[in-house]
Amino acid sequence: MKITDVSLKYKTSVFTLIMVLIIGGLIAYFNLPVESFPDIKQPVVFVAVPYVGVAPSDMETLVVQPIEDKLQEITQITKLTSTSREGYASIVAKFEPDIDIDEAVRKVREKVDQAKPELPSDLENPIVQEINFENIPIMLISITGEQSLVRLKQLAEDIQEKIEEIPGVLDVTISGGLEREVKVDVNPARLQYYNLGVNDVINAIRRENLTIPGGSLESPSLNWTVRVPGEFETVEEMKNIVVKSRNGSPIYLRDLADVYFGFKEQTSYSRLNGKPSVTLSVQKRSGENIIAITEKVKQIMKEEKEHFPTNTDYVIVMDFSEDIKVMVNDLENNIIAGLLLVVFVLYFFMGTRNGLLVGVAIPFSMLISFIVISMLGYTLNMVVLFSLILALGMLVDNAVVIVENIYRHHEEGTPLLKAASEATHEVGMPVIVSTATTLMAFLPMIFWEDIIGEFMKYLPITLIITLSSSLFVALVINPVLASSFIKLDKKMSRLPGDRFLRWLTVHYERTLRWALSHRKSVIGILVGGYILMGIAYAFLNHGIEFFPETEPKQIFVDVEAPLGTRLETSDVIVREIEKRIQDTPDMENYVANVGSQSNMFDFGGGGGASHKSQVTIDLLDKSERHQNSFATLEQIAEKVQGIPGAQIDVSKPQEGPPTGMPVEIQIKGEDFRVLSSISEEIQDIIDDVPGISKLKDDYQKGKPEVRVRIDREKAALFGLSTSLIANTIRTAINGTEASEYRVGTEEYDITVRFSKDFRKSYSDLLNLTIFYEGKHYPLANIASIELTSGLSNINHVEGDRVVTITADAIGRTS
């Protein structure tokens, strides 16, 4: 091999290269960023549109359809999906794989901007962003104790500021606790008494809560800046603003409403081990070291805990760095153990010196791999680490062939330098071909498409890098080291493995001679063996699955009550679950989220719903458990059986990257009643398929809904528009953010709506009046009100309505 001849000719340069590889490899290893997930650049753009209090059907027509119509003009979009929920819509646009993600985001943002004239005027700005797995939190920290949620959130905010100062931290968000706002609770009876409308209150607040620059005045010696500060400095000041004047008498805001600093209504509850909690979610920047960041976060939490109030504590609910640490330690231990085991095993057949010459292939191959991985800009993530560990067992194959052949040539009398060259020439091509065939087996995985391909491409790339490095070591470094350090030793003829090799050679020769003289019998045995294997596979086959099932570290208890269930009712059900699972063995912590079912991979979820909840159970480390965690899962499933008022499902996290349910069938159309009917027929057909479980569709009808049918002719007689009527109802029930109240650097919403006593029941809606041009018109005179049921969510694929049937595969693979 020419490369071997060159390396043998310039041995000093090769030894210099070895030193460079050692130093460079170690520097690369210690500077490689450590992450949980690979840096996946999926050309997928996500549009989130919050619109509080709006029904799914209205979200579909008012928000989703105008945006989808514009997005469908982008030719590079290969798939467009959307979900409309109460108060929230999400749209996901998947682009062709070769488009630049920044270009994709720009195109989507342009189309969303073009759709804005068709969107409601009071809609918040849609959020447009790329879907990036780097945005998944690396840590979740729950703070809990015998403190109020206000106090817990204050503690969390103090910690938030300190964690955000850590280099490499992208963002720290707080969930749970109570969010402050200035409440303006209007009394509709007082509005009628003073002959005013709720819009008069909103306009007065907006009109008065302003600071306007007045320009500048010039004097002979100074320039004076003129300011008109009008922003509210206190809530008391807000109470005293004049809304209107009647006959020279001012009508103050305090005459019409209760104004106070309060809290926004809770849409979800969160508890840790049965106690109210506030959670910090930590995100890191792309390419930063997850282990270094989490260690600094833990140090901050340890220091802050010393200042916590009595009976207040924190728990790290999730920490992706722990799994990475285990894998990094496994890699380091496997490199060391592999080197020792290789030397130990080869000692019996090749001697200690030759064993060491072969064993160096492991660290040198790894060092070269670290350098190449660093140059490619990759990180040490779960997939790369797994690939490196997988490759360890194959790193010495080439070196064994090369070094053993060099020794054999030298043993036969060939000078060492010449032996190194001739021996490598003799087996070099087979070694290259052997390595190439192994690499070819992994090469197709690079072309795997979609999100799975983006996850898994790092496995073949890492293996190709590592095995190519071992080939380089075998052809360049091993011959140089062998030509310098191999020594003929009389003891080599009495190696411990010689007797076994002689026995093996004798029996192999006998077997080979028999096979060559009984060719038909050998071919018959071979064919028969294939047939038997085929039969065995047919009867013993357990199917195919992408990721093997492993013992879960977490267990999820998903709770789904009937649509429209109040948050307080869902909380009663979840508290019963918490009570039943408290004495579960091997449980470390449990977190209850009432009013939401969190999923870190669900980029299109959003919203949340009062009828959905989830309890997440964290188990002890495997070494500390008293039983298999599958047994624990079954015990929990038994414990939560029989709780009335909700459907309860116990499951474990999905293995590998997010791929959805094993069985998924989509039915497209316009009429949901027809789609639902077809869905029921399909479910009846496939329900009998062995292994099918958790069969359901996402068509959820039955959410209680009050529909206000406006009589347009009657409304027109009084000059009332649909917009005025709808906005009055929305302000009365859901509230309108009139302005913002600033305290230092903090901003709080000023929310105007009717007092709670006037928005509790169906009859309160009937008593509502619409104010227009100095008169109040009862809603009951211009509209009819009916009680009905609506959809929980509306899904679109390529702009069409769709109902999706999903199912899991139990006892069989999909």
Architecture of domain 549-659: 2-Layer Sandwich (3.30)
Compute φ and ψ for 627, nearest 5 degrees: -155, 170
Type of residue numbered 715: A
Parallel, antiparallel or unpaired: strands 180-186 and 746-754: parallel
Where in the chain are the domains? 2-23+323-487, 44-131, 137-177+266-310, 181-263+703-791, 497-541, 549-659
Task: Report CA-CA distances (Å) from 327 to 331, 468, 499.
Answer: 6, 23, 39
Spatial separation of the C-alpha atoms in residues 593 and 271, rounded to whole Å: 7
CATH number for the domain formed by residue range(s) 181-263+703-791: 3.30.2090.10
Q: Which fold has domain 44-131?
A: Alpha-Beta Plaits (3.30.70)
Helices 382-391 + 320-359 axis angle, to 10: 20
For 721, the 3-state DSSP assignment is coil
- Rg of the chain on CA atoms, in Å: 35
Say if 181-263+703-791 and 549-659 have the same CATH topology: no
Q: Annotate 462-516 with DSSP letters as a single string.
A: HHHHHHHHHHHIIIIIHHHHHHHH----GGGGG-TTHHHHHHHHHHHHHHHHHHH
User: Nearest Cα to 272, choosing from 555, 576, 590?
Assistant: 590
Q: Quick one: three-class SS letters along 654-714? A: CCCCCCCCCEEEEEEECCHHHHHHHHHHHHHHHCCCCCEEEEEECCCEEEEEEEEEECHHH
User: Nearest Cα to 55, choosing from 705, 796, 735?
Assistant: 705
Residue 222 CB coordination number (10 Å): 7
Burial call 785-813: b when 16+ CB within 10 Å, e when fewer: eeeeebbbbbbbeebebbbbbbbbbeeee
For 784, the 3-state DSSP assignment is strand
Low-confidence ranges of the chain (pLDDT < 50): 601, 603-606
CATH number for the domain formed by residue range(s) 137-177+266-310: 3.30.70.1320
What is the model's pLDDT at position 379?
Answer: 84
What is the model's pLDDT at position 547?
Answer: 64
The domain over range 2-23+323-487 is classified in CATH as 3.40.50.10140: no
> 783 has which bridge partners?
710
How many alpha carbons fall within 13 Å on the CB side of residue 342? 25
What residue has token string 């490899």?
A: 25
Token reading at 511: 């077997």
DSSP 34: B
Spatial separation of the C-alpha atoms in residues 753 and 730, rounded to whole Å: 9
> 697 has which bridge partners?
805
What is the model's pLDDT at position 604?
Answer: 46
Burial call 146-179: b when 16+ CB within 10 Å, e when fewer: ebebebbbebbeebbeebeebeebeebebbbbbe
DSSP 110: H
Do 590 and 615 touch, CB atoms closer than 8 A? yes
Burial call 647-679: b when 16+ CB within 10 Å, e when fewer: ebbbebeeeebebebbbeeebeeeebeebbeeb
Task: Report CA-CA distances (Å) from 297 to 164, 281, 555.
Answer: 10, 11, 26
Quick one: which H or E segment has residue 794?
A: strand 793-797
Spatial separation of the C-alpha atoms in residues 715 and 782, rounded to whole Å: 6
Residue 741 CB coordination number (10 Å): 22
Token reading at 238: 């807000």
CA–CA–CA angle 596, 597, 598 (5° rounding): 105
Burial call 71-93: b when 16+ CB within 10 Å, e when fewer: beebeebeebbbbbbbbbbbbbb
Task: Report CA-CA distances (Å) from 311 to 157, 308, 372, 379.
Answer: 19, 8, 51, 41
> 795 has which bridge partners?
83, 802
The pairs formed by 597-606 with CB atoms below 8 angstroms and a separation of 24 or more are 597/558, 600/136, 600/137, 601/136, 601/658, 603/46, 603/90, 603/92, 603/131, 604/46, 604/81, 604/83, 604/90, 604/92, 605/83, 605/90, 606/48, 606/50, 606/83, 606/85, 606/88, 606/89, 606/90
What is the model's pLDDT at position 700?
Answer: 78
Quick one: which H or E segment has residue 356?
A: helix 320-359
CA–CA–CA angle 506, 510, 516 (5° rounding): 140
How many alpha carbons fall within 13 Å on the CB side of residue 129? 12
